[in-house]
Amino acid sequence: MKPQNLDMEPNQGQPRPTLSSKVQRLQALSREEWQRDDWRWQMSHRLTSLDDLQSLWPEWTPTEKQKEVAQRYPFALTPYYMSLMEHPGPTDPIGRMAVPQAEEMNDNPALFRDPLTEEPNSPVPGLIHRYPDRVVLLLNGLCPVYCRHCTRKRLVGIEVAAANRKQIEGWVDYLKNTPSVKDVILSGGDPLTLSDDRLEEVLAAVRSVPSVEIIRIGTRIPVLMPMRVTPELCQMLAKYHPVWVVTHFNHPNELSPLAELACLRLLEAGCPVNNQAVLLRGVNDHPDIMEDMLRHLMRIRVRPYYLHQCDLIQGIEHLRTPISRGIEIMEALRGRLGGLAIPQYVVDLPQGGGKVPILPNYILSMSPTKTILRNFEGRIVAYPEPAFHPDENHPPRRERGGLADQLSGHHPGPIIPKSSK
């Protein structure tokens, strides 16, 4: 399919604004040619205005409200990801995730600019420490596509430079002084928009800290710009194992042959690839769509890891679903898919409360002698509890905080929230 090249607005007698040379080059290409296997070309040909997008899809006209949204929450779209759209409207799953919608201006007072309180939990610039054993490093502020549901929507379009040497040294000092941190997550922006050399500088620095066991890379590159996953990149990543990759497919339409190839390259380089999806209204909030995506992920050896309830982010009220919808989807998946294919459905609590797993309720009743359970078919079964409870001396457990310590007897008193007097 050749994108149309019209000189006039549809249904209007006014000439179009002057087209940029970038848009003119894209107009001369077919949809298949928008998938050019050159990630630097993809980045240099990103669309960053709705007028440019309209020039390539003349049957679509953005509203003034959408243009206003794009000023508040900037827009960027790679030719590759654009090639996966049937049209830029909100009924297309790719368009709904990538193109500004007027509803983004509807601010619900229950939504937050920084819903996970990342900024107060940043003891060092660019480092977030919310959980005892892991930290997040924000390597840059650049993404190939600005997803409309981004958790860091407050930072979208602030394309800050990649972390410099002084900042990296600050991270290393913090990690060395905090040996409880075993797991370091590289994020951004998107860390894979860095050059191989810049990314390796960070990997080498993190790997120099003896207490760090695992490095994770959180990236949407396999989804938005899979040609960035080059053999050279994978060869470099393999030098710093164990390196895990957590990516973010949300819809079956994103699982193109190029996306599959990117995941395969990472796997063959020894990087396990996990997927965390976000439940989005009008995109994947249907059991059949979710099942199709999960089956496809399993076929390419990408493990479904999390299904996130949408965070409470300003500007995404139109994409949020009720938790009951997520429960309905999880109910439908159980029994239709093997356990490896079923992600953990989680809510990341606001105000830094952390992730809480959500499941359908399979326990109907409990007593000292029996637990009454139901299965995915609705069949009710009584599970007998052991009749004999020997007085066993269990070895002492580590203190973990929260309810785990209550159960182990470390802190037998009542739990009083820190905010209480």
The residues annotated as belonging to the active site are 130-131, 134, 143, 147, 150, 152, 311, 348, 355
58: Cβ contacts below 8 Å, ≥ 6 apart: 4, 6, 9, 10
User: Is beta strand 243-247 parallel, antiparallel or unpaired with respect to 273-278?
Assistant: parallel
Alpha-carbon span 214 to 202, nearest angstrom: 14
Contact between residue 330 and residue 160 where contact means Cβ atoms under 8 Å apart: no
420: Cβ contacts below 8 Å, ≥ 6 apart: none
DSSP structure class, residue 113: S
Q: DSSP 3-state assignment of 107?
A: coil
Please name the amino acid found at residue 105. M
Contact between residue 111 and residue 312 where contact means Cβ atoms under 8 Å apart: yes
Burial 378-414 (b: 16+ CB within 10 A, else e): eeeeeeeeeeeeeeeeeeeeeeeeeeebeeeeeeeee
